[in-house]
Amino acid sequence: MEQWLTTARPYLEMIYFLSGLVIAVAAVIALRQLRLMKLDLLGRSERAAKEKAIEAAFEYTKTLERIAVQLGDLPQGVPHYYKGAVGDFTANSIPTDLREAANKRHLSGKVWRSLDALDGIAAMFVTGVADEQTAFPIFGGAFCGTVAGQYDVICLATASKSFAPYASLIELYQIWSRRLSKMDLAKAREALEKEMSAIPDKEIPPLSPLRPRT
């Protein structure tokens, strides 16, 4: 037995050495596969976030059109847009000379649902579901202009609730507005107001033999 062990010992040591190499190579291959899987998951996640950002851009356009129609239904004499400076999104930040108009705009309730939709869009970015870096060049300036134009309504809605109804909207505005200079933000507001004013009110005329077709 001892003689057999003596004879087989070099071979056993060689097998042990080779098994160690096989295990080491297998470990390296496994680590590489894990790294590739991680990169693939990150790539897919990044692509999905960019796709969500583009979807959010389309949804923002639809929401903007709804706001334009809703503003057209405001009572005569009530301004469509807030013209003051944007502050900390509290009711006290609304200038005294603009508070009466702000109350009328808020109580009309015309843009509440659209602001809820904007808050939902903003939540996609602040939670990381959508890539805000992709979305910002597409509609970042327009988004900030929309929020600035409805600032007083947002402030009063926030003050009237025990919770923060537009927390995501406000957070995204603060992130994106920092990337815009004051001049850029003013231009965004002005361009947005002109664009929304140009959206025609959709009307379907009733069928009537007394009414000429156009």
pLDDT truncated to tens, each residue of the chain (214 aa)?
A: 556 556 656 655 666 566 666 676 666 666 666 676 665 555 677 888 899 999 999 999 999 888 888 888 888 888 888 989 999 999 999 999 999 999 999 998 888 889 999 999 999 999 999 999 999 999 998 999 999 999 999 999 988 776 778 999 999 999 999 888 766 777 777 776 776 666 554 443 444 444 444 4
Question: Tokens standing for 12?
Answer: 């056993």
Residue 46, token pair as written in the block: 């990044």
Phi first, then psi, for residue 210 (nearest 5°) are: -90, -10
Amino acid at 154: I
Give the integer Cα–Cα distance in Å for 161 and 112: 13
pLDDT value of residue 4: 54
